[in-house]
C-alpha cells in the first residue's frame, strides 16, 4: 500500500527539481560573478612581458575619429597595460584603416617609445626589442632620444647606443636626443653628431638635429623654433647658410617647416606652394634643391591621405627642376612613413597621373631616413 505512494512522491520530487533548474536565472548569476574572473585574467603576463608595469583593468576608449591627443592617450595606455608591441601593432592597424592618421602618427610613435623606456625602467635593449618601423620609425626615435638623455656621458653614448647595426633611423633619433641634451644648442648637438666616423652617419644625425630645431613639438603646429627675427629678415632660411657643409643639406631640408608653421598651413593650404617660392630665395642651387625637397616631404607628411592633391601642389612649382625636387620629397616621405624603399613605387606612383606619376617613378625609391 505504501510502496505506490512512495514511488509517486519520488516522481513528484524529481519533477520539482527539473522545474527549479529550468526556471533559475543562471545568466544573471554568471554575469554577477564575471568581474572576479575578469580581474584574474587581466593580470596575466603579455607576449612581451615586463614585471615593471602591471596591466590596467580599464581598456582605453576607442573614439569615432582619431586626433593626435586621443591616439596618443589610447596607445600610451595600451603600452602601459600590455606592451609596446601590442600598441605598435594597433597603430599599424589604425593607420591602414584610417589613412588620415598617418598625418600625425609619427609623434605618437615617439610617445610610445618614451612610454616603453619608462615602463622598462630605462632598459634600452628591452624597449627596442619591440622595434616596428610603422609611422617613419617614430618608436625607435622616441626610445633613442629619451635614452640618450639618461646616459651619464651622452657624448660617448652617441656612437655606441645604436651599435652594432648603426641604422640611419636610429642615428636620426640620436640627433633628436643631442638637441635635448644640448638644450637646443645646434652647434653643441652638431659636435656630438660629428663623433660618428662616417659622413653618412653624421648626415643622418644632423637630420634629427634640424627636425628638432624647426619642429620643437611635432604634435603642435603652432610650436615655433626660437629664431631671431632680425636674422630671418636678412636670411630667409636662417641658420642654414652658417652651418658646416656636412650639416647644411639637412638644415635646408627641414627649414620649410618653419615657413609653413608661420604661414598657418593648417588653415591656409596655399602656404605649400608659397613655400616652394620661398625656397628659391636660398643662396645656392643645392640649397634650393634641398629646400624644395623638404617642402615636398612636408606636403606628403601633412597630407598623406590625399596624394593626388599633394602632387598638384608640386606641379605648381616654378620650374621643371623644382617640380622634380618636390615630387622626390613626396616619394621620400612615403617610403619613410611606410618603412619600405619600394613603397612609393608600388603604392604612391600608381595613384598619380601625368608628369607627377613620371617624376614619382624616377624619384622612387628615394631615401629612407629623413622623416
Output the tens digit of pLDDT for each of the chain's 371 residues: 444 444 434 444 444 443 443 333 333 333 333 333 333 333 333 333 333 343 444 556 788 899 999 999 999 999 999 999 999 999 999 999 998 898 889 999 999 999 999 999 999 999 999 988 899 899 999 999 999 999 999 999 999 999 999 999 999 999 999 999 999 999 999 999 999 999 999 999 999 999 999 988 766 666 778 888 888 888 999 999 999 999 999 999 999 999 999 999 989 999 999 999 999 999 999 999 999 999 999 999 999 999 999 999 999 999 999 999 999 999 999 999 888 889 999 999 999 999 999 999 998 865 555 66
The predicted model scores a pTM of 0.79
- At residue 25, the 3 state secondary structure works out as coil
| Residues with Cβ within 8 Å of residue 256, at least 6 apart in sequence | 275, 278, 279, 291, 294, 295, 298
Distance CA 242, CA 251 (A): 10
- At residue 54, the 3 state secondary structure works out as coil
Please state, rounded to an integer, the average pLDDT across all residues of the chain: 84
> What are phi and psi for residue 158, nearest 5 degrees?
-50, -45
Amino acid at each position: 500500500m505504501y510502496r505506490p505512494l512512495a514511488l509517486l512522491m519520488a516522481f513528484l520530487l524529481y519533477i520539482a527539481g527539473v522545474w527549479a533548474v529550468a526556471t533559475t536565472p543562471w545568466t544573471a548569476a554568471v554575469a554577477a560573478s564575471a568581474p572576479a574572473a575578469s580581474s584574474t585574467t587581466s593580470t596575466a603576463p603579455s607576449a612581451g612581458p615586463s614585471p615593471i608595469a602591471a596591466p590596467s583593468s580599464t581598456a582605453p576608449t576607442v573614439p569615432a575619429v582619431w586626433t593626435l591627443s586621443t591616439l596618443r592617450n589610447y596607445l600610451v595606455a595600451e603600452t602601459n597595460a600590455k606592451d609596446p608591441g601590442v600598441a605598435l601593432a594597433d597603430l599599424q592597424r589604425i593607420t591602414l584603416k584610417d589613412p588620415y592618421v598617418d598625418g600625425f602618427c609619427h609623434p605618437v610613435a615617439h610617445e610610445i617609445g618614451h612610454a616603453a623606456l619608462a615602463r622598462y625602467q630605462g632598459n634600452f635593449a628591452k624597449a627596442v626589442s619591440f622595434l616596428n618601423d610603422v609611422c617613419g620609425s617614430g618608436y625607435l626615435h622616441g626610445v633613442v632620444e629619451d635614452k640618450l638623455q639618461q646616459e651619464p656621458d651622452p657624448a660617448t653614448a652617441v656612437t655606441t647606443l645604436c651599435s652594432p647595426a648603426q641604422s640611419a633611423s636610429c642615428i636620426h633619433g640620436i640627433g633628436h636626443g643631442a638637441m635635448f641634451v644640448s638644450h637646443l644648442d645646434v652647434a653643441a648637438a652638431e659636435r656630438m653628431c660629428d663623433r660618428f666616423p662616417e659622413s653618412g652617419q653624421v648626415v643622418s644625425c644632423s637630420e634629427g638635429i634640424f627636425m628638432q630645431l624647426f619642429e620643437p613639438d611635432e604634435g603642435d603646429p603652432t610650436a615655433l623654433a626660437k629664431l631671431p627675427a632680425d636674422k630671418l629678415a636678412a636670411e630667409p632660411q636662417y641658420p642654414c647658410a652658417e652651418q658646416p657643409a656636412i650639416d647644411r643639406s639637412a638644415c635646408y631640408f627641414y627649414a620649410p617647416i618653419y615657413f609653413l608653421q608661420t604661414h598657418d598651413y593648417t588653415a591656409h593650404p596655399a602656404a605649400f606652394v608659397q613655400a616652394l617660392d620661398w625656397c628659391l630665395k636660398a643662396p645656392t642651387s643645392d640649397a634650393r634643391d634641398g629646400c624644395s625637397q623638404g617642402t615636398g616631404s612636408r606636403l606628403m607628411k601633412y597630407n598623406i591621405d590625399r596624394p593626388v592633391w599633394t602632387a598638384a601642389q608640386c606641379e605648381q612649382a616654378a620650374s621643371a627642376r623644382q617640380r622634380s625636387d618636390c615630387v622626390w620629397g613626396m616619394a621620400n616621405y612615403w617610403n619613410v612613413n611606410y618603412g619600405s624603399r619600394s613603397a612609393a613605387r608600388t603604392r604612391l606612383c600608381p595613384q598619380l597621373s601625368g608628369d607627377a606619376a613620371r617624376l614619382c617613378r624616377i624619384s622612387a625609391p628615394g631615401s629612407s631616413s629623413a622623416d
